[in-house]
């Protein structure tokens, strides 16, 4: 019988007043700044990411969000190693939850974006990356942890709009992609 793993920790997730989740591995990214004064968090953005594209596991997503991605480690990395990007959270395929930026701060995940007439979605959103790709179904543990995390965020911040990266940057972004099961996710909340 397997011992406790990342999936076992998810039901009791809690987000504190600083926006730090108790069940996440906290790995602070330098790629963040303050939200505009008085800006309320009103949006949750779901993304997918894999580095190199279509490959899972390894340190590369951490390295990208921490600003230490080696441009020589893979040919694809040469074009992205200098990016200054981050997300609040990453849910790995095995259900491990990683937090890079406290929710009270602005992570740099949305880029050029628009939601309900408002630009600069980073100002008022929380970004959650799922380790995945547009052409691959997400793993069962990811849905469980994503649901638990989202419930914790709703408890902390109240009602939030929930959108995919493709919804806030149509034509520019396609994630979380056609394999993300929106009805299942919404029903889990």
Return the active site residues: 129
Contacts with 117 (C-beta within 8 Å, 6 or more apart), sequence order: none
The sign of the dihedral angle between the CA atoms of 3, 26, 48, 54 is negative
Strand partners, 163: 45
CA 26/CA 100 separation, integer angstroms = 6
Strand partners, 143: none
Phi, psi of 97, deg, nearest 5 = -105, 125
Spell out where 18-144 has E strands.
Answer: 25-26, 32-34, 43-49, 89-91, 97-99, 105-107, 114-115, 118-119, 125-131
């Amino acid at each position: 019988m397997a011992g406790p793993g990342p999936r076992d920790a998810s039901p009791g997730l809690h987000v504190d007043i600083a926006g730090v989740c108790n069940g996440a591995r906290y790995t602070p990214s330098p790629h963040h700044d303050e939200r505009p004064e008085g800006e309320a968090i009103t949006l949750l953005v779901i993304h997918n990411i894999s580095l190199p594209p279509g490959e899972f596991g390894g340190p590369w997503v951490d390295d990208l969000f921490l600003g230490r991605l080696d441009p020589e480690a893979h040919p694809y990395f040469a074009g992205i190693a200098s990016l200054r990007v981050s997300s609040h959270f990453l849910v790995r395929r095995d259900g491990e939850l990683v937090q890079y930026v406290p929710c009270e701060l602005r992570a740099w995940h949305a880029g050029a974006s628009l939601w309900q007439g408002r630009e600069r979605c980073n100002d008022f959103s929380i970004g959650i990356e799922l380790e995945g790709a547009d052409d691959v179904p997400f793993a069962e543990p990811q849905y469980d942890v994503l649901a638990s995390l989202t419930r914790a965020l709703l408890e902390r911040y109240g009602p939030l709009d929930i959108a995919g990266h493709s919804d806030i940057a149509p034509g520019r972004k396609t994630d979380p992609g056609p394999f993300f099961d929106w009805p299942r996710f919404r029903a889990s909340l």
